[in-house]
Structure 1
Amino acid sequence: MANNATYITVTGNLTRDPEGAFTASGVFRARISIAVTPRRFDKQAGEWTDGETTFWDATAWRALGEHVAESLNKGDRVIATGTVTTHRWQDEATGEPRSRVVLDLEDIGPSLAWATTNVAKATRTNGRSSGARSAPAGDAWAVNGPTADNDVPF
């Protein structure tokens, strides 16, 4: 992450299923859209009110992108962190400058305030993620969880 990058965390709902594909150079990319609607309690009215919804286009790369494509669906409540990036280009038809703000994801997961989940450890084979599948043979953490012999060192 660059020193001048804007790093944010958003909590919201996916507006569509993740769109995953490999780029021409063979890197996996998943694109999602997150709707973020602030909610506040109005003391005078005695009720919750929704603010204006903001829609964030977000991109997850490589193993994170694969996990997003395999794990998340439209409507899922997520917590996402990443850097805000502005993409700029010239419109081919009009020659006008165009721009779009995107959240380049560093991490994302379901909001446990709205759902429950069973975490499955992802494995890596030949530098590529195999997604949320079986853990490597002999992985005591995946099979038994922490024990006295392999307890967390903190």
Structure 2
Amino acid sequence: MAGETLVTVVGNLTADPELRHTASGMPVAGFTIASTPRVFNRERNEFVDGDPLFLRCSLWRQAGENATQSLTKGSRVIVTGRLRQRTFDDKEGQRRTTVEIDAEDVAVSLMYARATVTKTYRPGAPQSAPTASAGQALPQGSSPAGPHSF
């Protein structure tokens, strides 16, 4: 939407994602990422960790369920979504403001890890044609575009 602040942040999960459900039953995963910049220290003549930025994230529906089943503390992730500012009263009655990400998508970073993808299907959604992983052949008579490709 126009006027929204869209962000992409790379960081590590500080804990396993937690799955909750709204009163209407909609699933939402909550997690925090720590994004730590590398900065050059002139005195030491080397790169060092800068101050980490901690951002709370919410990921809704099937994507949230997938995240809780796929991600663990320490996972390096790439989060895209809308930056939101939320104001609330804490336990002592003090007014607080926090900045969070309403995540649209989360991906595992392959910089320091390998991943195996297991596709999930929405109930009632058409399933795609068979695909092959790198180095695998499709079943005989199949093509990446489906059985009726030209």
State the TM-score bracket (shorter-chain normalisation): 0.7 to 0.9
Displaced runs of 4 or more, over 6 A: none
Q: Flag the 1:147–1:51 CA change in 2: closer, same or farther, 3 A.
A: same
Matches for 1:5-84 after TM superposition, within 5 Å? 5-42=4-41, 45-84=44-83
The match for 2:2 is 3
Map Cα deviations across residues 29-53 of structure 1 (whole Å, 9 max, x no partner): 0000000000134577442211100
One-letter amino acid matched to 1:120: T
Aligned to 1:120: 118
Which of 100, 103, 112 is 1:102 aligned to? 100
Identify if the C-alpha distance between structure 1 residues 148 and 89 changes in structure 2 by more than 3 Å, giving closer, same or farther.
closer
**Larger of the two Rg values belongs to structure:** 2
State the SS of the aligned residue for 1:124.
Answer: coil
1:140 aligns with 2:136: no
Q: Deviation at 1:65?
A: 0.5
The alignment yields a C-alpha RMSD, in angstroms, of: 2.9
Match of 1:87 in 2: 86
Name stretches of at least 5 consecutive residues in structure 2 with no aligned partner. Answer: none
Report the secondary structure of 2:117's partner residue. coil
